[in-house]
Amino acid sequence: MSIQTLTDQLLSGHRRSLARLITYVENDHPDAAEALERLYPHTGQAHLIGITGAPGTGKSSLVNQLAQAYRRREQRVAVLAVDPTSPFSGGAILGDRIRMTELTGDPGVFIRSMASRGSLGGLARAVGDALKVLDAAGFDKILLETVGAGQSEVEIAKTAQTVIVVEAPGLGDDVQAIKAGILEIADIFVVNKADRPEAKRTAAALKMMLELGHAPAHHLLRHSLLASLDQTSPYEAAGPAWTIPVLPTVAINGQGLDEVVAAIEQHRQHLLDSGELALRDRARLIDELETTLQSELMRQVIARLPADVLAEMVARLDDRSLTPQAAAQKILAAVGLAG
Ligand SMILES: Nc1nc2c(ncn2[C@@H]2O[C@H](COP(=O)(O)OP(=O)(O)OP(=O)(O)O)[C@@H](O)[C@H]2O)c(=O)[nH]1
Ligand SMILES: [Mg+2]
C-alpha cells in the first residue's frame, strides 16, 4: 500500500492504518518521514495531556478514569503509555498494566504502549512522532502516561501541553517529586490514593512546597537557535499566572475525577487565553528542530570523517597532547566545517 493511501486512510478515521503508521514511526521505517510530512499539516488540534509520577502512584488507574470521563463527554481519546526503562513494546506488557477493560472495543478509544528505543533520544523522538500521528487522526484528548521517576520521564512529559504529576502517600517519601525533579514541570498535582489517611500529609507537603515558589520551567527553555536570532526569551506569557492546583483522587473508584477533568479544561483555557499554548508548542517544535539538527550533523560528520583521523584524535586525547575541544575543531576542519 502506498504511503499516500495509508495517510489518507488515517485522516478518514481508519483504525488499522493508525496502528500501522505508529509502528512505522516507532521503527523509523523508511516511509515514516514522508508519512509525517503528509500528516503534519493536520496536527495541532488535540489536547496533549501528560500523566507522570513515580512507579505505582496510580497513573494507569487515573488514565483509565480520565479516558472514561472523556468518553462520557463524547470526546475521542488516545492513550500512549511510555516506559523508558523497559525494552518491551507494542502493547502487551504495558497494556496489561493499563486496566482499561471498560474501554476495550470502543472505537473512540485507542491505546498503545511504547518502550525503550535503546536511547532516550530515540524514544523521545518516537513518542513525539506517534503524538503527531494520533493528533492527525483526530483524537480530542491524547493521554501520555510516562513511567519512571527520573530525567527521562521529565523529558517525555515535557512534550505535553498540560502536565499532571501524580503523587501517592506511603511510598517511603512524603513527596516523590522533590527527588525526581518533576516538580517544575507540573501544571496540576494529583494526590492519588486519597482513601489512605497519610494522603492529607502528602497534599499538605506539596502545597507547602508550591507556596515556597517554584517557577514552572518547561516553557522557559533556552534554545541556541533562538538565541542566534536574538530571541532569547519569547516564552513569557501575558496575563495572570496559572495557580497549580493540588487535587485528591481515589483512582480505583473515580472519586475526585470530575475536579481533575475540570482543572485540565481550566488549564487548557488558561493556555489559550494567555497565548502560552502557542508558545509551548513553538518551544517544543524548536526543540525538535534542534535535536534533529544535532543528530543529523553528527551523522554527517561521522560519515565524512576518515577513520584514521578519528583514531589519531583519540590517541592524542589519550596522551594528553590535545584537548577534547581542540580535537572537535580538528574533526570539523577535516570534514570541511571549520568555523
Ligand atoms: N488504595 C488505592 N489504591 C490505588 C488507587 N489508585 C491505584 N491504586 C492501586 O495502586 C496500584 C498501582 O496502580 P497503577 O494505576 O498501576 O499505578 P501506575 O502509577 O500506573 O504504576 P506504574 O505504571 O507501574 O508506575 C494498583 O494496585 C492499583 O489498584 C487509589 O486511589 N487507592
Ligand atoms: Mg502504569
Domain count, the chain: 2
Same domain, 71 and 94: yes
**Average of per-residue pLDDT across 83-111:** 64
For the CA of 165, the nearest ligand:
1
- Ligand nearest to C-alpha 255: 1
Q: Looking at the predicted structure, is the pLDDT value of residue 268 above 60?
A: yes
Residues with CB in 5 Å of ion ligand 2: 59-60, 97
Ligand 1, pocket-test mutation among 61, 99, 165, 192, most atoms within 8 A of CB: 61
Confidence (pLDDT) at 225: 63
Ligand nearest to the CA of 153: 1
pLDDT band at 234 (very low <50, low <70, confident <90, very high): very low
Report pLDDT digits (tens) over 157-183. 778 999 999 999 876 555 555 555 667
pLDDT at residue 123 tops 90: no
Beta bridge partners of 252: none
- 73 Cα: distance to centroid of ligand 1 (angstroms): 24
CA-based nearest residue to 152, from 176, 186, 117, 187: 117
C-alpha cell at 1: 500500500
Same domain, 32 and 53: no
pTM > 0.85: yes
Same domain, residue pair 24 and 85: no
Cβ pair 36, 100 in contact under 8 A: no
Band the pLDDT of 154: cuts 50, 70, 90.
Answer: confident
Same domain, 11 and 61: no
pLDDT score at 132: 96
Is a pLDDT exceeding 90 seen at residue 208? Answer: no
Residue 209 shares a structural domain with residue 252: yes
In a domain, 327, yes or no: no
Q: What is the DSSP string of 158-192?
A: TTSSEEEEEE-S-SSSS-HHHHHT-GGG-SEEEE-
The answer to the question of residue 37 being in a domain is: yes
Is residue 166 packed enough to be buried (19+ CB in 10 Å), middle (13-18) or exposed (0-12)?
A: buried
More confident residue, 128 or 227: 128
Ligand 1 midpoint to CA 57 (Å)? 5
User: Ligand 1 centroid vs 204 CA: distance in angstroms?
Assistant: 21
Q: How far is the CA of 56 from the centre of ligand 1 (A)?
A: 5
**pLDDT score for 238:** 57
Give the H/E segment covering residue 80: strand 77-83
Please check whether residues 5 and 78 belong to one and the same domain: no
Q: Are residues 98 and 19 in the same domain?
A: no
Q: What is the pLDDT of residue 157?
A: 75
Could you list the residue range(s) of the whole structural domain that residue 8 is in?
1-41
| Same domain (yes/no): 29, 58 | no
Task: Give the full edge-to-edge strand order of the sheet including 188-191.
Answer: 109-115, 77-83, 141-146, 47-53, 162-167, 188-191, 246-248
